[in-house]
């Protein structure tokens, strides 16, 4: 029986359709409501350019109104606008070698490859999303530190992850930190490092909820989805736990202007090697921020550049942001 090759299994146009769009749906941040897709960003990314603006109307709250005076015209107030900005990003990933194909021989190679590529890019987008959240917090800490409840310098148990620390972190954004306030957006998830997750289990603070059709129960803490990821920031014994609102990250992507999937063959290398090349053009934007593009060395920001404070500017008031952090130690 002849060997099944990638060139036999993959039709690039069809394969792209199978993998590009479903990728984000498998993201844990997307499933928890932290990432939402934005059609406007999709459209902008399909055109030229690197940085795009998203205008918004600034908040008009803060006063109790004016007292009318007979014979005097009322004061006319303006409705001010400002702009967010997001950056186009490009990434690629290539797989190859005959060993890759032999794994799929005698099975459905298209199905296996689709799952492999989709799973890879979904975790890649989660990692980029977490790096983006790190950038928001790095910018905040470099300024007034309005979004971080840092208890890590406390003595003993005062420095450890606890319910009270999470509540105080939520309170950093005032009225917007009210649990379940639908008019201002509810907290959707808490993103923690695996070590923090293990400590939470020891504290018995996670609710495991069985859901029909799910192989594993869903995990909740204070009504928030629990997301466990090793990319959550940790500095020696100090951990960041991210408390996130619905839609704090907006996501857009496009397949315009490039080939998302391509097959290449190097016939002179050994017995010949097939290469599966995948590419993505996308944007991951934290609401309330503007990309400053201060320190980008290549055609697209690296992970380190994504979480660098210098590449971000906060344009929302702190109480309108969708992210707060508990910085803590573990007992």
Give the chain's mean pLDDT. 87
The answer to whether residue 131 scores a pLDDT higher than 90 is yes
Task: Give pLDDT, residue 100.
Answer: 56
Task: Give pLDDT, residue 183.
Answer: 44
- Structure token pair of residue 43: 């459209």
d(C-alpha 297, C-alpha 300), whole Å = 8
Task: Give pLDDT, residue 113.
Answer: 76
The answer to whether residue 56 scores a pLDDT higher than 70 is no
Residue 38 CB contacts under 8 Å (≥ 6 apart), including other chains: 250, 251, 252, 285
Taking residues 262-281, report their average pLDDT: 81
Which string of DSSP letters, residue by residue, matches 50-98? Answer: SEEEEEEEPP--S---PPP-TTSPPPPPP--EEEEEEE-EEEEEEEE-H
Taking residues 179-190, report their average pLDDT: 70
More confident residue, 102 or 263: 263
Taking residues 281-300, report their average pLDDT: 95
6 in Cβ contact with 102 (< 8 Å): no
Q: Give the pLDDT band (50/70/90) at residue 3.
A: low
Whole-Å CA distances, 206 to 157, 185, 232, 258: 19, 22, 18, 44
Residue 8 CB contacts under 8 Å (≥ 6 apart), including other chains: 109
Task: Give pLDDT, residue 107.
Answer: 58
More confident residue, 279 or 273: 279
Which string of DSSP letters, residue by residue, matches 220-268? Answer: EETTEEEEE-TTS-EETTEEEEEEEETTSEEEEEE-TTS-SEEEEEETT
Which string of DSSP letters, residue by residue, matches 4-26? Answer: P-HHHH--HHHHHHHHHHHHHHT
Task: Give pLDDT, residue 272.
Answer: 73
Task: Give pLDDT, residue 72.
Answer: 87
Local structure of 326: helix, strand or coil:
strand
Q: Give the pLDDT band (50/70/90) at residue 1.
A: very low
More confident residue, 49 or 213: 49
- If one counts every other C-beta atom within 10 angstroms of the C-beta of residue 315, the result is 17
Taking residues 4-15, report their average pLDDT: 68
Q: Which of 221, 231, 280 is nearest to 256 (CA)?
A: 280
pLDDT in tens, 207-257: 999 877 667 788 999 999 999 999 999 999 999 999 999 999 999 999 999
Identify the helix (H) or strand (E) that includes residue 328.
strand 323-328
d(C-alpha 147, C-alpha 321), whole Å = 8
Q: Which of 110, 157, 126, 85 is nearest to 312 (CA)?
A: 85
The answer to whether residue 42 scores a pLDDT higher than 70 is yes
Which string of DSSP letters, residue by residue, matches 181-200? Answer: -TTT--EEEEEE-HHHHHHH
Task: Give pLDDT, residue 58.
Answer: 62
Task: Give pLDDT, residue 91.
Answer: 96
Q: What proportion of the chain, given as a percentage, has pLDDT over 90?
A: 60
d(C-alpha 235, C-alpha 137), whole Å = 14
- Structure token pair of residue 132: 């983006």
Q: What proportion of the chain, given as a percentage, has pLDDT over 70?
A: 85
Taking residues 175-191, report their average pLDDT: 74
The answer to whether residue 106 scores a pLDDT higher than 60 is no
Task: Give pLDDT, residue 21.
Answer: 77
Instruction: Tell me the residue length of the chain.
Output: 331
Q: Give the pLDDT band (50/70/90) at residue 105.
A: low
Whole-Å CA distances, 97 to 103, 104, 119, 288: 11, 12, 20, 44
Q: Give the pLDDT band (50/70/90) at residue 184.
A: very low
pTM of the shown model: 0.85
**Residue with token string 């989660």:** 126
- If one counts every other C-beta atom within 10 angstroms of the C-beta of residue 48, the result is 8
Task: Give pLDDT, residue 111.
Answer: 66
The answer to whether residue 198 scores a pLDDT higher than 80 is yes
């Amino acid at each position: 029986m002849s060997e099944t090759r990638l060139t036999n299994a993959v039709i690039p146009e069809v394969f792209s359709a199978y993998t590009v769009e479903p990728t984000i749906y498998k993201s844990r941040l997307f499933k928890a409501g932290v990432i939402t897709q934005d059609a406007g960003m999709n459209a902008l990314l399909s055109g030229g350019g690197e940085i795009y603006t998203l205008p918004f109307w600034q908040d008009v709250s803060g006063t109790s109104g004016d007292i009318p005076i007979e014979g005097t015209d009322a004061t006319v107030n303006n409705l001010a606008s400002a702009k967010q900005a997001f950056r186009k990003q490009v990434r690629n990933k290539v797989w190859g070698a005959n060993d890759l194909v032999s794994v799929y021989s005698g099975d459905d190679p298209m199905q296996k490859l689709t799952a492999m590529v989709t799973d890879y890019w979904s975790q890649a987008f989660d990692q980029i999303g977490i790096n983006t959240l790190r950038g928001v917090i790095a910018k905040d800490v470099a300024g007034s530190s309005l979004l971080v409840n840092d208890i890590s310098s406390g003595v003993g148990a005062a420095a450890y992850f606890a319910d009270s620390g999470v509540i105080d972190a939520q309170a950093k954004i005032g009225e917007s930190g009210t649990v379940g306030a639908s008019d201002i957006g509810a907290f959707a998830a808490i993103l923690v490092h695996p070590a923090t997750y293990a400590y939470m289990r020891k504290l018995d603070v996670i609710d495991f909820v069985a859901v029909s059709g799910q192989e594993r129960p869903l995990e909740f803490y204070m009504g928030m989805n629990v997301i466990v990821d090793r990319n959550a920031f940790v500095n020696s014994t100090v951990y960041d736990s991210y408390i996130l609102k619905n839609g704090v990250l907006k996501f857009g992507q496009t397949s315009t202007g490039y080939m998302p999937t391509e097959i290449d063959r190097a016939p002179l290398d050994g017995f010949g090697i097939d290469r599966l090349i995948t590419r993505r053009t996308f944007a991951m934007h934290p609401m309330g921020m503007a990309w400053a593009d201060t320190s980008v060395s290549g055609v697209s920001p690296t992970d380190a550049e994504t979480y660098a404070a210098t590449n971000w500017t906060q344009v929302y008031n702190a109480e309108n942001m969708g992210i707060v952090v508990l910085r803590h130690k573990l007992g």
